[in-house]
Structures are given as structure tokens and as C-alpha cells.
Amino acid sequence: MATTLLLLALIGTDLKLDRGDGILLFSALLLYLGYLFIHRKVMPRSEAALLRLIRFDEAPGTVPRNGLVLLMALILIVISAHLLINAASASAKGFGVSEWAIGVTIVAAGTSAPEFATALVDVLKGSYGLSAGAVIGSDIYNLLGVLGLAGMLHPVGVDAIARTSLGAISAMVLIVFLFMWSGWRVSRTEGFILLAIALTRWGLDFAARTP
């Protein structure tokens, strides 16, 4: 919530992400990581040893083999996302959709495809906390780290509709926070509501930016 409001204040005022904004965002990410490190929960040795045994039983194999599989999976994720983004962007431009609409919808979905796949696997394995944490953590890294680094390397100008999109993001984060805060879980009904809001926002972005 703090991150989205910070972005709304920085970018919404002048529609620019300059080096000063980038430094501020990236510094906020470092402070956040420092906070997580200081307040991390240390697992008891007995529990940690049991967890290692469980994970070893689930994923047997040597360290080099598992490392190679991990590397190949990462390469395939990058290639797949690249192909998806290029194909979707070319198709959208063929229908006369603006670059902003492409960026906040199709390209955003393409770059989120690996996160969706990872979260889906976590859910199927019953690792619900890992699934939600990975998605939220990725958003924080993207907003603070990626945008911060981009702003530090080169000032970025954005479309005026960015104010509306940033406001929508802030509202959606607030809704997610309220859903998760109610019993620290997201029900199926709440999941459908979030999906409906996302699809509605997609439709509005396309309608607003179509020539």
C-alpha cells in the first residue's frame, strides 16, 4: 500500500520517473529487505532438519542435477515469456491498441506468466503462503526495484492515463489487504471478485486508449 501510494505521488504529479525518484524507490526496496532480514523468524534446528528431509524426499537428485534442471527451467521461462510478449504485442498493434494499453495488459500478463505458473504449482502442492508471498514479493520488487533502477539509469516519461492506473492499483492493493486481513486467507468468492476487478480494469484500459 505504501509503495503504490508513493508511486502515485512521485509519478502522478509530473508524469515522469526521474533519477531522484528512482533513487528513492530503490532505497525503499533496500530498507524493506533490511527490515525483513532483521525481523526474520529463525526456525528451530529440529524443525529445519525435518524440513530438509521432507524436501529431499520430494525432490531427490544430486545438487549438480537439480542445479541444471533449475537453470534450464529459468531459461525456458525467459524464452516463453519473450515469445508471448512479442506475439501478443504484434497482435494488439494490429488491432490499433495503444502502447500503454498493451503495456498494462498484455505485456504485463506476459511478464507475470512465470509468477502465475509458480504460484499455481505452489497452490497445487498446498504451499499457499509461498504462493501468495511470491506474488506480493514480486510486485514489491517490480515497483521499487525495477522502476527504481530504470529511473536511475534513464528518466522515464509516462502517459497521462498513468494517474488513473496508479490510482486503480492503489485501490486494488487496499482491497487485497482487506481480503487477506479477514482471517488471513483469501476465499474463492474473494478470488472471483479480484479476478472480476482485474478484467474490468483491462477493459477500461483498452477502451480508454484505443484510437
Arithmetic mean of pLDDT, 87-106: 72
Number of C-beta neighbours around residue 21 at 10 A? 24
Q: Write down the pLDDT at residue 42.
A: 60
Instruction: Using the predicted structure, report yes or no on whether residue 4 has a pLDDT greater than 90.
Output: no
Integer Cα distance of 147 and 26 in angstroms: 8
DSSP class of 43? P
126-176: pLDDT as tens digits: 777 777 777 788 888 888 988 898 889 888 777 777 787 788 888 888 888
Residue 52: per-residue pLDDT: 55
Write down the pTM of the prediction. 0.67
Residues 166 and 100 sit within 8 Å (Cβ to Cβ): no
- Nine cell digits for residue 119: 504460484
Rounded Cα gap, residues 29 and 12, in angstroms: 20
Strand partners, 157: 16
Most confident region among 41-45, 85-89, 106-110, 181-185 by mean pLDDT: 181-185
Q: Looking at the predicted structure, is the pLDDT value of residue 210 above 50? A: no
Domain 2-209 belongs in CATH node 3.40.50 = no
> Of the ranges 12-21, 117-126, 142-151, which one carries the lowest mean pLDDT score?
117-126
Tell me the percentage of the chain whose pLDDT exceeds 70: 84
Confidence of residue 28 (pLDDT cuts 50, 70, 90): very high
pLDDT of the residue at 67: 83
CA 74/CA 189 separation, integer angstroms = 33
Q: 121-127 long-range CB contacts below 8 Å, 24 or more apart?
A: none
Q: Residue 17's beta-bridge partner residues? A: 156
Q: What is the pLDDT of residue 103?
A: 75
Q: Is the pLDDT of residue 89 over 60?
A: yes
Q: What's the CA gap between 123 and 205, in Å, rounded?
A: 30
* pLDDT tens string 35-82: 888 877 665 555 555 455 445 445 555 778 888 888 898 888 778 877
Mean pLDDT over each residue of the chain, to the nearest integer: 78
Q: What average pLDDT score do residues 181-188 get?
A: 80
